Structure 1
Amino acid sequence: MGLFDDEFYSTRISRRTNKIGRKQMPGFPLRSRKDWGIGRLAALSAASGAAIVLVLTLALGGGDGKATVSEASALAASGLVAPGDAIQQTVTASAKVRPAVVSIVNEQATMLPQVEGEEGLPLPEGGVEGELQPASVGSGVIFAKKDGKAYIITNNHVIEGAAGLKAVMINGESRPAKLIGGDYITDLAVLEIDGKGIDVVAEMGDSSKLQSGEMVMAIGNPLGLGDSLSMGIISKTKQVIPVSLSQDGNYDWEQEVIQTDASINQGNSGGPLIDMKGKVIGINSMKISDVGVEGVGFAIPVNNVMPIVDQLMKQGKVPRPYLGVYTLDLESYFAQQGFGGGVEGGIEEGTENGEEAEEPGSGGPEIPAEVTEGVIVLESVGPALDAGLQFNDVITKLDDQPIRSTMELRKYLYGKKQIGDKIEVTFYRGGKQDSVTFKLLDKSEEEEE
């Protein structure tokens, strides 16, 4: 799955222990505790108590960042605030959300061995589908309840390929889940379950107000352990990482995420990342899983999540304009031909596998020597086919926007254009530049034709 996924590589824990012996420093003789006066002990206790209150208050968001040591000392002396109150905030925040967090079970059919039918005829090669069995687990969070139904946000990769879905509540109760819609581009999905007895719905926060260093918690079902919490900080409020939508190792999209060092492992995907007020500020999605890498996890910001969720609730999909080309990056083609370096290519609009570029001398794309960036058309369908785009055409611009890779093609298409818009495609064919203008369609409509 590449660097960016939610694979869990190792459970090894360092068992190294350090024992530090007491050493007398020159000029500083060790004192026994009985040598300390009552006044000194009281002063030390007051100072340390004030420091603890101040640190916990600032770290856990209990203050406005303007507290002073004197104010913390006054609170400690008054007995109105104790360190335990600040620590209790984590318990309160998690308790507010935990009943709304569920485990998602992806069920797939097992294959039974091939046997002869009742009339002595063999069944199709490979056997037949048997009972549904759990294939993978993830997490989700209940975000809405309406007309007796409860609705769950999770990751699209959690439910991908499922023949059946189940949601397991915090009390262990399992309920059948129905897929309302999923979107592989943003890796989000919405499920529906019976809402009977569900009283807690998670409250959404505001991810635009997050600050680096702010404490957060991840809740979910890591490694199938169920109802588990991990805690950390916001390492970076906005991180843009490359992803491979088709999981073929070619990075063909970019995802904006929150980076956190709260532990996110396989099974946490789809669960909530919450702040210390118990509000959901992200949906846990992936981590960097590589040898020597720790504490680098990612969550989709809730402000990016909810517009997608709204579209999935209304239409069961996220409508996007459809160009109708499967492509390979030109630089990747050059690299395959041995012309030096190049970047990894991709294929447009989420196809499963790209075709290999032509072998040297077998009629590859003809382009001027100065053209070194663009995308090669491997196949055109739908609107692109109707407009006359062909195999080996090299697209270099969409409208007036230079296109150097499949990622840039996608970003311009999905970010700047709408279904029904006209688009001008500039391309090279037979060494000559040409262009064509046509209307973008809805991909689902094209597939239904």
Structure 2
Amino acid sequence: MFKDPEGNKNWTTMKIVAITVALALLFGGVAGAGFQTAKYIAGRIIPDSSPGTDQNDDSDGITEEDVEKIIETGDGNTVTVTDVSSVVKAVMPSVVSIKNTTTVTEQYRWGPGRTYESQSAGSGIIIGKNDSELLVVTNNHVIEGVDSMSVTFIDEQSYEALLKGADPNHDLAVIAIPLSGISESTLNQIKIAELGDSDKLIVGETAIAIGNALGYGQSVTAGVISALHREVTVNNVTFALIQTDAAINPGNSGGALLNIRGEVIGINAVKFSSSDVEGMGYAIPISTAIPVIDELELQETKVKVAEAEQGYLAIQTVDVTAEIAATYNIPMGVFVAAVENDSLAEDAGIQKGDIITSIDGNSITTKDRLDDKLEYYKAGTEVVLTIQRAADNVYEEIAVKVTLDEKPAN
């Protein structure tokens, strides 16, 4: 859950709006050493230059003169603008399209089921690089559970991407593209995004959304910041988001919400779904996202293991949803209903009644998310589970190291 932005003393008086939303993406059934990325400088985020260009080359950037010309009113105030072409030109090389492939299996009551591939689309923002990878941030819901991902840059060239880290509680994920596989031509055309400060946003100022709407490729919409700190609940998780009337359409998830200076102020996430409402889109504030991104980009890049080699956690589980957690006053997570006899899970000390909340530091809120994470581990691998265990009617957090079993033959 998002925390109150530091220093916002009006938060407790902010009107809470709890609404039903639809994830804004095109889903069928539904992401090191020598790190060089955006750094905190004088309270502002100043990113590296394009991975393949001269840092002093800002011919396509936004100059102070451009900004003053765009927002000049004569009385020192800013105004909403309609021509954002200079901003778009400067930032478009920092936004990517994401295409995913997922294997879907349908079971029929009568006769055999069927298996087919489903494709989905989303967006992402180039936020940094390390010695060997280009790093892109997107929404967790864009890449969760997919079998493969590809990223398309501004030059229409596509490259395979791998998951680096994901945090479903903040709906954020970082994916990585090996630098060795990206052509020099592409490197010369892309840029690392400049991250702004969403804590300084003012309701009514210009907002620009860039993303892969409907999976057709990058498109642009513009509007204003409609509200700040809006509480929105999606899949039992409550987020404090930026509200904008800049259209956020399916496929825009993970794309950039920008201010008039071309700085990323939010990561597009959801839109209100109703025939009675227009112009209600939401974005994760960048100042909230940055600490999460900083942690995710330092994780080891993950590669899915062949199904026959995947590890197995020999337990039976039940989801503890927000509703169940509130009703019975227990933590959200994955409830252990049973532990298989003579298993490595039993040897590790996992007990019936435990509630699993993370694996190797990655948050777990459902059985499906636990199963998804296990796809990256081979049998025989040791993992660390964060568990809430009841003792004298009080839950205490403990860490349990467990070696994964081999998957049963059936």
TM-score range, shorter chain: 0.5 to 0.7
Cα distance in 1 between the residues matched to 2:319 and 2:164:
28
| 1:307-341 deviation digits (Å, cap 9, x = unpaired) | 11111111259xxxxxx995467x879xxxxxxxx
What is aligned with 2:307? Answer: none
Does 1:177 pair with 2:194? no
Supply the AA of the counterpart residue of 1:93.
V
Q: 1:204 to 1:448 in 2, by over 3 A?
A: farther
Q: Distance in 2 between matches of 1:59 and 1:298?
A: 28
Give structure 1 stretches of 5+ with no counterpart: 10-56, 69-82, 113-123, 245-250, 318-323, 334-342, 352-376, 392-405, 407-418, 427-433
Q: Deviations over 1:121-177 (max 9, x none)?
A: xxx9646x67xx561111111111333531111111111221111111222211111
Say which SS state the counterpart of residue 155 (structure 2) adopts.
Answer: coil
Equivalent-residue separation in structure 1 for 2:70 and 2:333 (angstroms): 42
Q: Which residue of 2 aligns with 1:209?
A: 200
Match of 1:243 in 2: 234
CA spacing shift, 1:67–1:310, aligned 2, 3 Å = closer
Which residue identity lines up with residue 207 of structure 1 in the other structure?
S
Q: Which has the larger radius of gyration?
A: 1
Q: Which residue of 2 aligns with 1:192?
A: 176
> Does residue 435 of the first structure (1) align with residue 404 of the second (2)?
no
Aligned with 1:4 (options 21, 26, 29): 21
The equivalent residue for 1:312 is: 296
Counterpart for residue 225 of structure 1? 216
Amino acid at match of 2:399: L
Q: Distance in 1 between matches of 2:403 and 2:318?
A: 14
Residue type matched to 2:102 in 1? Q
Deviations 1:43-85 (A, max 9, x none): xxxxxxxxxxxxxx999644696469xxxxxxxxxxxxxx9xx
Partner of 2:136: 152
Distance 2:254 2:232 in 1: 18
Q: Secondary structure at the match of 2:85?
A: helix
Letter in 1 for 2:278: E
Report if the CA contact (8 A) 2:82-2:222 is conserved.
no
For 1:89-104, what aligned pairs fall within 5 Å after superposition? 90-104=84-98
Match of residue 138, structure 1, among 116, 122, 128: 122
The residue type paired with residue 3 of structure 1 is: T
Counterpart in 2 of 1:105? Answer: 99
Deviation at residue 184 of structure 1 after TM alignment: 1.4
Change (3 A) 1:347 1:183: farther
Q: Tell me, what secondary structure is at the counterpart of 2:298?
A: helix
How far is 1:102 from its partner? Answer: 1.0
Verify the 8 A CA contact 1:271 1:284 in the aligned structure 2. yes
How far 1:440 sits from its partner (Å)?
A: 2.5
* Separation of aligned partners in 2, 1:62 and 1:303: 27
| CA–CA separation in structure 2 for the residues paired with 1:156 and 1:346 | 27
- Alpha-carbon distance between aligned partners in 2 of 1:447 and 1:346, rounded to the nearest angstrom: 30
Number of equivalent positions: 288
Give the percent of matched residue pairs that are identical in Structure 1 and Structure 2.
34
Seen in structure 2, the aligned counterparts of structure 1 residues 307 and 165 have a Cα distance that, compared at 3 Å, is same
- Give the 5 Å matches for 1:36-435: 61-62=71-72, 66=76, 88=83, 90-109=84-103, 126=113, 133=117, 135-193=119-177, 194=179, 195-196=182-183, 197-198=186-187, 199-244=190-235, 251=236, 253-316=237-300, 327=320, 349-351=332-334, 379=337, 434-435=392-393
- Rounded to whole Å, the distance in 2 between the matches of 1:290 and 1:191 is 32
Contact 1:142-1:151 at 8 Å conserved across structures: yes
Gaps of 5+ in 2: 1-18, 27-66, 302-316, 340-344, 355-364, 366-383, 406-410
What is the CA-CA distance between 1:293 and the residue it aligns to? 1.5
Write the distance in 2 (CA, Å) between the matches of 1:242 and 1:104. 25
Once residues 99 and 187 of structure 1 are traced to their aligned partners in structure 2, the CA distance between those partners, rounded to angstroms, is: 24
CA RMSD of aligned residues (A): 4.5
- 1:177, 1:191 within 8 Å by CA — same for their partners in 2? yes
2:241 aligned partner, one-letter code: V
Amino acid at match of 2:141: H
Aligned AA (2:240): E
Measured after TM superposition, the shift of residue 181 of structure 1 is 1.6
Structure number with the higher strand fraction is 2
The one-character-per-residue Cα deviations of 1:16-47 (angstroms, maximum 9, x if unpaired) are xxxxxxxxxxxxxxxxxxxxxxxxxxxxxxxx
